[in-house]
Amino acid sequence: MKNFCPENFLILIVDDNPNNLQILHVILETEGYTTIAASNEEDAIERVRLDKPDLIIMALTMPKTSGLELCDHLKSPPPLTTSPIILMRTIREQEYLIEAFEKGAADTITHPFNPAEILARVRTHLELKQTQKQLNRLVQEQEKLTKLLRKLASTDPLTGLWNRRHFLTIGYQEFNRACRYKRSLSILMIDLDNFKQINEEYGHTMGDEVLKGVAKSIVGSLREADYCGRCGGEEFVTLLPETDSAGAMRVAERLRKRLEQITIGIGDKQVQMTVTVGVASYQLDDSNIEVIIQRAHKALYHAKSQGYNRVVLH
């Protein structure tokens, strides 16, 4: 692996034999690794928790506890460490090899020690750990990117509301639920009055701020169970599950009054706005959610023909 630097890794050596500790310390530190030592189980666990070593080398047999038991303790869920563990064994301890791997050991080495073998095995496991860490980071970045792309595909970039396509997907789900359980469902079509005039008089930057302000106010007037989307331009749509026409009219009127009291500004430019709302509710002979949306559109057009800043039920 390119850019492998032993100086970047900390290795914990666990053994009650000071000669083994000294030999491994010299082998590893000469290569550039930093080492720390523990002579018993308690010290080893403390070093793992405090120093978080990148790799652990421990003796298979020790007076108070075995390396197998300590390895099992460190690796049992939830593991105290995800770092690889290499167990030191003698040739006569070959029968413990399978059990060592079952307890969570990544590898074993034999002593008397072969420095070249130790360094090769240590580097191999550290490179594997480094590669796994890089892969995990790439997976996390991929998940974030996928989440971002999913959000971009389903939301309006200016207001953060659902876009028309995703709103219709939600709408069909809620419509099917209303049909199945004979529940209420209502749609509000909301149009910002005289928006073209705002753009012409104050500029598109102010127009964008107004649209974002309207979107925020609409969401603030709804329940968590409600949905809001931007249809395009200055037109918004909300879906109100479990809401009949009377309830939808109350929501629409509350929203209308809230918006006419809001002022949005950039610098010394201040804009007040009003909205006109068309309301339609689910009827038993409706074939799909778009039929309700079309009725809400008709109510909106009818309201616009009578003037602005009003609510009309189809």
Q: What is the residue type of 206?
A: M
Q: What is the residue type of 177?
A: R
Q: How far apart are CA 83 and CA 133, in angstroms?
A: 11
CA distances to 39, 88, 107 from 102, rounded to whole Å, are 24, 16, 11
Give yes or no: 234 in active site.
Answer: yes
Give just the sign of the alpha carbon dihedral 95, 98, 103, 104.
positive
Of these residues, 41, 174, 209, 234, which one is catalytic?
A: 234
Two tokens, residue 137? 């980071």
Two tokens, residue 186? 């209502």
Dihedral in degrees, nearest 10, Cα atoms 33, 38, 43, 48? 20
Q: How far apart are CA 253 and CA 11, in angstroms?
A: 68
DSSP 185: E
CB contact set of 17 (below 8 Å; sequence gap of 6+): 59
Q: Which residues are catalytic?
A: 234
